[in-house]
Structure 1
Amino acid sequence: MEQNGVLVLKPMPEFKMEAYDAASGHYTEVSSENYKGKWTVICFYPADFTFVCPTEIAAMNASMNEIHDRLGCEVLAVSTDTKFSHKRFVETEPLLKDLKLTIASDPTGEVSRKFGVLIEDLGIALRGRFLVNPDGIVMAQEVQAPPVGRSVKEFIRQIEAHQHAHKTGEVCPAGWRPGKKTLPVNTDVEALTGRVGDYITIEEIMS
């Protein structure tokens, strides 16, 4: 299996794909140009008509009021299936009723390969999730083998933390959520160097 390596802190790979827009019920085309200047998640999954995949897509869709409406983050799902397969998958899988997401088609594996998630001998993608900031830079990536689904709640936490860090210059400790302490290295780097434990306790980190 060929991998392109870690994409974090690198520009999001450029792409253009046919897609199925579940919200409108029509085929469309998407490209990396559509997402410039926006917080974006590109979410690869192995295949339509499988078992873990619809649970992940449904969980992401159920959280769009948080991810898209509140946090302003665009979402694009991608697999190596055709746009025709995507349409049928959405129409037949009960978990995908009222789906609002756009699902892009990467039948040649070109885009999955650019993101480093293509399983070459199977022609399907790993579970790869990439968070891109408005400057087009990949800020986080999570890649898992097909048997285990990903947590949308944890991903929302990561979006919140990266957006806060991007806006303020502060950094976020383990498990950070809005309202908890950040580490103001942008203003107090000398005071914090080697003394983080004087500023934040393990109890605060784990709470």
Structure 2
Amino acid sequence: MAVINTEIKPFTAQAYKDGKFITVTDADVKAAGWSIFVFYPADFTFVCPTELEDLAGLYGEFQKLGVEIYSVSTDTHFSHKAWHDTSPAIGKIKYTMIGDPSGTLTNNFDVMRPGVGLADRGTFVVDPQGVIQVMEITSEGVGRNASELLRKVKAAQYVAAHPGEVCPAKWEEGEKTLAPSLDLVGKI
């Protein structure tokens, strides 16, 4: 799990987006600017559609920040289309749904469950240089929160734009940040 602050590895994958099958590469991700990779165990399951629908509801907010979202499972892009066509929750998705049946991406991000062939519930925020700035892994039964992810993206973008400043716990856009220094040691 030593992927934080590392550059994403090269990949080429098939995906489903906007009623079409498309190819997505690491170069596409870097060209998109900020990105989020949301790995989940499998299509046609239980917690996964609630999370993906939650993200779909805030997709416009992420796009306003210049963020593209890529959901990823070890299912195929064909399975993603079938799920999109049959599930009311998944039918709301406008972002890219990547199929990773070879496990390349899932292994690249170190979220493949050994011997199972399914991804752990992993979330990664990637900056425009392709470097992983935020990561979160939860167990299969614990769903994620898109609002909290949006807050983390804003914090990562703020820190990237303001060298020398950091965002404290529960930081929200517009709130005070910290400027680490010798004078601040022991005063928080």
Distance in 2, matches of 1:58 and 1:8, equals 26
What residue is the counterpart of 1:159 in the other structure? 153
- After the TM superposition, which residues 1-207 of structure 1 pair with which residues of structure 2 at under 5 Å, given as runs? 5-21=1-17, 23=18, 25-37=19-31, 38-68=33-63, 70-169=64-163, 170-185=165-180, 189-195=181-187, 197=188
| Post-superposition CA distance 1:118-162 (Å, at most 9, x none) | 113221100111101112111011111211111111111100111
How far the C-alpha of 1:108 sits from its partner, in A, is: 1.5
Larger Rg over CA atoms: 1
Number of residue pairs matched?
A: 186
Q: Does the residue aligned with 1:119 lie in a helix, a strand or coil?
A: coil
Corresponding residue SS for 1:94: coil
- Matched to 1:19, the amino acid is A
What RMSD, in angstroms, separates the aligned Cα atoms of the two structures? 1.2
Which whole-Å CA distance do the structure 1 matches of 2:88 and 2:112 have between them?
27
With normalisation by structure 2, the TM-score equals 0.95
- Shift of residue 193 of structure 1? 2.5
Instruction: Give the share of equivalent positions with the same residue, in percent.
Output: 38
Q: 3-state SS of the aligned residue for 1:40?
A: strand
User: Which residue of structure 2 lines up, in the alignment, with residue 201 of structure 1?
Assistant: none
**Structure 1: tracts of 5 or more residues without a match:** 198-207
Q: Which runs of 4+ in 1 moved over 6 A?
A: none
- Please tell me whether the aligned partners of residues 41 and 120 of structure 2 are also in contact (alpha carbons under 8 angstroms): yes
Amino acid of the structure 2 residue aligned with 1:77? S
